[in-house]
Amino acid sequence: MPSLKGHLLIAAPQLFDPNFQRTVVLLIEHNEDGAFGVVLNRPSDTTVQEVWEQVGQDPTDSLETINVGGPVPGPLLALHDAGPLSESEVMPGIHLSTQRDALDQLVRSRAEFRLFSGYAGWGGGQLETELTQGGWITRQANGDYIFYRQDDLWERVTKDITDEVLRPVLKATHVPRDPSCN
């Protein structure tokens, strides 16, 4: 299977694992050894400002929320659009950073960023099995989804996929939210 790095995993409606039900995951890495990514639509109740009071050298006034990146504990990491602070590029224009100095610069900058605590991980072949079993739908990621901060990301992505599938079949310019209303 080709790498799904830079793709979204959208939880299928029948995926009942409480860690991933109705989630959208950005895959940061995917190869024969496994995969890891972050859940994009699981905000915590903690702000960057609160975390920086504990870990930062200087406080920040950022009220952005820290996101729960997944069930696996891990370092604080950022997805952002600031190339000079990048440790790796996830996809064109979207970067990953975990180093303290880079994170500190990000929270004080005007860059677009999201911080995550924890991540989602799969061992070699595990994600492929879940895909074959129908647990996930994949889609190329884009910055609009990655930096989307509303709580309805899963609904938005699934609607976008449905629209793309139905529009050519129906030859319609607009697909209603609930097609049964027609």
Domain contains 2: no
* Residue 47: inside a domain: yes
**Position 22 in a domain:** yes
Find where tokens 């995951």 sit.
Answer: 25
Q: Is residue 1 assigned to a domain?
A: no
Q: Do 85 and 106 contact (CB within 8 A), yes or no?
A: yes
Asked if residue 88 is part of any domain, the answer here is: yes
pLDDT, residue 50, reads: 93
Q: What's the CATH code of the domain at 106?
A: 3.40.1740.10
Using H for helix, E for strand and C for coil, what is the string for 50-119?
HHHHHHCCCCCCCCCEEEECCCEEEEEEEEECCHHHCCEEEECCEEEECCHHHHHHHHCCCCCEEEEEEE
- Count the domains in the chain: 1
Mean pLDDT by 10 residues, the chain (182 residues): 95 91 97 97 94 82 93 95 96 96 92 96 96 95 94 93 73 56 51
pLDDT at 175: 55
75: CB partners within 8 A, 6+ apart: 98
| Closest CA relative to residue 39, chosen from 68, 81, 66 | 68
Is 178 buried (19+), middle (13-18) or exposed (0-12) by CB count in 10 A? Answer: exposed
Structural domain of 116: 7-181
pTM, entire model = 0.89
Quick one: pLDDT at residue 127?
A: 97
Residue 50 domain flag = yes
pLDDT on residue 105? 93
Do the domain assignments include residue 162?
A: yes
Those residues with Cβ within 8 angstroms of residue 90's Cβ, 6 or more apart along the chain or in another chain:
5, 6, 26, 28, 79, 96
Within a 10 A sphere around the Cβ of 46, how many other Cβ atoms? 15
Within a domain: residue 91? yes
